[in-house]
Amino acid sequence: MNFFLQLFKLLPPELAHSFSLKSLKILHKFRLLKYFISFDDNHIDEIEFAGMIFKNRLGTAAGLDKNGDYIDALGELGFGFLEVGTVTPVPQDGNTKPRVFRNYKENSIINRLGFNNKGIDHLLKNLKKRKYKGILGVNIGANKDSSGDQRINDYLICLEKVNKYADYITINISSPNTPNLRDLHSEANLAKLINEVDTVVEELKINIPIFLKISPDEKNESIDLIIKLVESSSIIGIIATNTTIDKSNILSKEFKVIDGGLSGEKLMDESTKKLSYIKSKSQNMPLIGVGGVLSREDFKKKIDSGADLIQIYTGFIIKGPDLIKDILGN
């Protein structure tokens, strides 16, 4: 598997991403994955979280499998849960290429993908035919050309369509790559969005957990308002955090000036600080930690900072499936 990982690193980022997932799918189809990826996880106890039973605390973050094309293959790797998306009501190409940039020396990636996906109806087809029996979350977003009330309506469309086929739903208001999306962090805008979500949840009698994924770039005062709104809504918890636009701790001058969201090692400290702050302000709020996990030590730090579950994406891209074994193995 290390040979393939090194090979993928030679390819352009998006091509490597697609090729690696398609390779996993082929290996899964012919029942060969077990010969490449195996570890003993019998020592790990199942955990109950938000009314769901997880075989372990480690899952995939949104963005790894945007369209749910690889659910069954990823589900064989040992994850305790998967999250697919971000998906929007209408298919969209995302931002212009190049839009993904890797910095292996600093274990970091910058992306400005812009919610590229095949749309909610394509994802639904994959959700309906999946064989994977583990916990599956769906991350929903808004189309780039939507604004105002239509932007909020995009979330409602996805919520209405997907709630019967997901174990939980994540409302993503924190991507830095869709213009003005992060404006939904403001008290007035978020209150309006949550009010509309509450109405749909009540009308459709939606009874699966809903999470809000937030930015690491919000000030603590903003986080306080978000916590207050979430605690009085149908949203049960927070996913902390998405990528950051702060690149002040990047050493590479060439990498520092690239527009987009930064993930990986350089996100770990700030995303964990936000996680810890939320925990200090709301002891009982269900929390999923994501951002910068590249080792078992990082995983444990997130847990110690208040996370109930942990998601990985960039670490998985950089280190491959061995990261799962490193975190969950004996």
Please list the active-site residues. Answer: 175
Contacts of 296 (CB under 8 A, 6+ apart): 326, 327
Tell me whether residue 96 is exposed, middle or buried, using C-beta atoms within 10 angstroms of its C-beta: 0 to 12, 13 to 18, 19 or more: exposed
DSSP letter (8 states) at residue 56: S
Distances (CA, A) of 163 to 66, 156, 160: 17, 10, 6
Sign of CA dihedral 29, 34, 38, 41: positive
Q: Are 205 and 213 in contact (CB under 8 A)?
A: no
CA contacts within 13 A on the Cβ side of 197: 32
In one-letter notation, the amino acid at residue 280 is: S
